[in-house]
Structure 1
Amino acid sequence: MRFTLRQLSVFLETARTGKISHAAERLSLSQSAASNALKELERQYGILLFDRVGKRLVLNDLGRAIRPRAEALLDQAEDLEQDLLQQTDLGELKVGATLTIGNYLAVGILTQYRSEHPHARIGLEVANTSQIVDKVANFELDIGMIEGEVNHPDLELIPWQNDELVIICAPDHPWAGRPWLTDEDLVRARWILRESGSGTRQAFDRAMHGLLAQFEPPLELQHTEAIKRAVEAGLGLGCLSRLTLQEAFARGSLVPLPVPQRPMDRQFYLVLHRNKFRSRAIEQWINLC
């Protein structure tokens, strides 16, 4: 075997970041050491793994083909090292969660994980669905927890929890207390919604199929709490996960508006790369979920 784990590490970090300098920084290597490791890997086999596009290194067809196997091999090596060191705690785990899940579900799971493995290294990144999916596909995250559906050939979706979106208004809104809203009401409403690319927006757009072309452009906000405050201030109707609205409903600061003709059930998913080695840390996280 002519390649080394360091060479694979430099190859993979360069694939993630697009720059040798960034790969070197993340691996705590000098830039020359990282550059030499990558050059030696290519020289040993008489291959090129990247195309240079401007100042970036972009994987070519061969690089893309071997990347998943290199990722799995390095993950297994790290898992083996934990066994050889006879550590009872798990290795590093990088988790991504969408905003609703990150703020209302993931922290509880993370707390339980840390209580069972107090010395485990774990990071939680919160972003919208499209961003989490991109990072799982790019091997920057080990596992994602998302609200929206994705169709990506390299990713595996595991159904996790059921959820429901709810249309909301302020308690003094003229429509508060109505038994239901019609499609005509939905078209006339002023909307305050999550941004495109979020799972919540994806589910809303799907529920409003056939009406969206008639909607006025909505006010788009990236955070659930900002949408709740804007709706409470009377700026329009919102649509959020029921999970995020329990306290607001309990204190009466927001009111649900039923739309029985527009089902708003949806599914939360765990998302993993199909070629990602499932370390003990990943399996433990899935079990806790």
Structure 2
Amino acid sequence: MTIRHLRIFIEVADSGKMSIAASNLFLSQPTVSQTIKELEQHYGVLLFERFCKKLYITEQGKRLLSYARYVVNQFDDLEENMIQSKHVEKIRIGTTVTIGNCILSNILSSFNESNPEVETYAYVNNTKIIEEKLLNSELDIGIVEGEIKSSDLVCIPEVEDYLVLVCSTKHPFASRKEIKLNELSGVGFAMREKGSGTRELFEDYMLKNGVTIKTKWESNCPGAIKRAVLENQHLAAISVRLVEEEIKDGEIHVIQNSECAWNRHFSIVYHKNKFINKSMEDLIEVVKNYKHMDILEEVKTGWLVK
């Protein structure tokens, strides 16, 4: 089994057809077919089911695909680092939408200041997508607020954060000191998209307490969610960091969870087999040292109670 075997296997899995994979790799179809057969014989498993001239990857195939992507990516990194005499070091950072909108710029500025020779690439999406890209070796390191499911990833909680319920200062809830949890049933919410760590934390809490959420607006853009709150009188559960400006301007009213059940951390995530070089160590230290003042200090808020 060689790197070449794995490259061909990945191309077949991605394209779904031997003929397409052969064309993309400038190989003959029999060569591609023989390579897959050799892999199956080597590992003693069936990698693809073949029905009606179509290929369907098996569970064993999916398992190999995850490892193959990682091994090929690491091999390419090795080649690039060892062969290029004037190599520019790169680090690919993935963050979730909340982090991308509130602290990523500061983190990158601090890191670039102390590591000007390192080229950074930043990618922002929800927790589920960041996790997938880390598993596929498309990113080197992630900073997320949601729960990481895969045991192949190391997840280290570092930066404190918490969700708050927000509404417009014109909303009826804004004039009340306490809001009963069951009063949220049937009220219109502006929600993050599925796969978001923010949405998962809030939905799990509401489900646990038997409260049904009425989603009226769904977006992966915090700005759009804030507009729905301000202009359409929806409620939203959102990181307190994302509404700091609106709180200071008196546009948004904050309702805190009296149980502190929405407290969470932004976590550093990377593959358990990832080699942590000096640049990654420096980036991790920047994240660990990130400080933020209490946004709600001296701010009058409401409280969500049961």
TM-score, scaled to structure 1:
0.78
TM-superposed deviation, 1:13:
6.0
Matched, 1:95 2:93: yes
The 3-state SS of whatever aligns with 1:258 is strand
The 3-state SS of whatever aligns with 1:181 is strand
TM-superposed deviation, 1:66:
8.0
The 3-state SS of whatever aligns with 1:247 is helix
Aligned counterpart in structure 2 of residue 125 of structure 1, from 123, 126, 132? 123
CA contact (8 A) 1:49 1:63 kept: no
CA pair 86-220 structure 1, distance change in 2 beyond 3 A: same
Structure 2 CA distance for aligned equivalents of residues 86 and 165 of structure 1: 48
CA pair 120-197 structure 1, distance change in 2 beyond 3 A: same
Name the stretch that deviates more: 38-47 or 109-118. 38-47
Aligned to 2:107: 109
Aligned to 1:64: 63
TM-superposed deviation, 1:41:
5.5
Matched, 1:51 2:48: yes
The 3-state SS of whatever aligns with 1:169 is strand
More strand by share: 2
The 3-state SS of whatever aligns with 2:257 is coil
CA pair 49-101 structure 1, distance change in 2 beyond 3 A: farther
TM-superposed deviation, 1:131:
1.5
Name the stretch that deviates more: 69-78 or 185-194. 69-78
Aligned to 1:207: 205
Matched, 1:75 2:74: yes
The one-letter amino acid paired with 2:272 is R
CA pair 155-129 structure 1, distance change in 2 beyond 3 A: same
CA pair 63-197 structure 1, distance change in 2 beyond 3 A: closer
Structure 1 CA distance for aligned equivalents of residues 86 and 168 of structure 2: 53
Matches within 5 A, 1:237-276: 237-261=235-259, 263-276=261-274
TM-superposed deviation, 1:186:
2.2
Aligned-residue CA RMSD (Å)? 3.6
Structure 1 CA distance for aligned equivalents of residues 76 and 91 of structure 2: 15
Structure 2 CA distance for aligned equivalents of residues 109 and 55 of structure 1: 47
TM-superposed deviation, 1:35:
7.2
The one-letter amino acid paired with 2:48 is D
TM-superposed deviation, 1:285:
3.0
Structure 1 CA distance for aligned equivalents of residues 205 and 83 of structure 2: 52
CA pair 217-227 structure 1, distance change in 2 beyond 3 A: closer
Aligned to 2:25: 31
Q: Which runs of 5+ in 1 are unaligned?
A: none
Q: Which runs of 5+ in 2 are unaligned?
A: 288-306
CA pair 10-183 structure 1, distance change in 2 beyond 3 A: same
TM-superposed deviation, 1:59:
6.5
TM-superposed deviation, 1:250:
0.8
CA contact (8 A) 1:158 1:270 kept: yes
Aligned to 1:149: 147
The 3-state SS of whatever aligns with 1:245 is helix
TM-superposed deviation, 1:86:
5.7
CA pair 108-245 structure 1, distance change in 2 beyond 3 A: same
TM-superposed deviation, 1:134:
1.9
Structure 2 CA distance for aligned equivalents of residues 113 and 9 of structure 1: 34
CA pair 233-70 structure 1, distance change in 2 beyond 3 A: closer
Aligned counterpart in structure 1 of residue 180 of structure 2, from 153, 172, 182? 182
TM-superposed deviation, 1:141:
2.2
The one-letter amino acid paired with 2:67 is P
Residue deviations 1:32-74, cap 9 Å, x none? Answer: 1597986675577754884266766736626734853773475
Structure 2 CA distance for aligned equivalents of residues 17 and 146 of structure 1: 30
How many residues get paired? 282
